[in-house]
Chains A and B, each alone.
Chain A
Amino acid sequence: MKALSFHQLTKTYKNGVQALKGIDLTVEEGDFFALLGPNGAGKTTAIGIVTSLVNKTSGKVEVFGHDIDRELAIAKSCIGLVPQEINFNQFETVSTILVNQAGFYGIPRRVALDRLEKYLGALQLWEKRNAVSRTLSGGMKRRLMIARALMHEPRLLILDEPTAGVDIEVRRTMWTFMRDINAAGTTIILTTHYLEEAESLCRHVAIIDKGRIIENDRMSTVLRKLQTEVFVLNLRNPIPAAPVLPGYRLTMPDDHTLEVEVSKEQNLNDIFSRLTAAGIEVLSMRTKTNRLEELFMRLVEQHPSQSNKAAS
Chain B
Amino acid sequence: MTAPQPVLERSAEARARDEKAALTRTAIVGFTTIVIREFNRIIRIWGQTIVPPAITATLYFVIFGSLIGRRIGDMGGYTYIQYIAPGLIMMSVITNSYGNVVSSFFGAKFGKHIEELLVSPLPNWLIVTGYMVGGIVRGLIVGAVVTTITLLFTHLHVHSVPVVISAVLLSSIVFALAGMINAVFAKNFDQISFIPTFVLTPLTYLGGVFYTIKLLPEWAQGMSYGNPILYMVNAFRYGFLGVSDVDIRFAYTMMIGAAVALFAANVWLLQRGVGTRE
Contact = CB atoms under 8 A, between A and B. Distances in A.
Interface in B253-278: 273, 277-278
B116 A87 contact: yes
A89 to B, nearest CB: 5
Contact of B26 (A51, A79, A89, A105): A105
B37 A55 contact: no
Contact of A106 (B25, B112, B113): B25
A117 interface: no
Interface in A90-107: 90-91, 96, 99-101, 103-107
Contacts of A106: 22-23, 25-30, 121
A79 B118 CA distance: 12
B70 to A, nearest CB: 45
A2 B127 CA distance: 30
Interface stretch (A70-78, A162-170, A172-180, A192-200): A70-78
A81 B115 CA distance: 10
A72 B118 CA distance: 11
B23 A51 contact: no
Nearest to B115: A87
Interface residues of B, number: 32
B277 A103 contact: no
Given A55-B273, A105-B30, A74 B113 contact: no
Contacts of A76: 119-121
B111 interface: yes
Nearest to A75: B121
A77 B27 CA distance: 12
B23 to A, nearest CB: 5
B74 interface: no
A104 B277 contact: no
Given A74-B19, A106-B26, A87 B121 contact: no
Contact of B30 (A54, A88, A96, A103): A103
B123 interface: yes
Given A13-B278, A74-B121, A53 B115 contact: yes
A138 interface: no
Which of the listed residues B25, B29, B30, B123 has the most CB atoms from chain A within 10 Å of its own CB? Answer: B29
B23 A104 contact: no
B111 A89 contact: yes
B164 interface: no
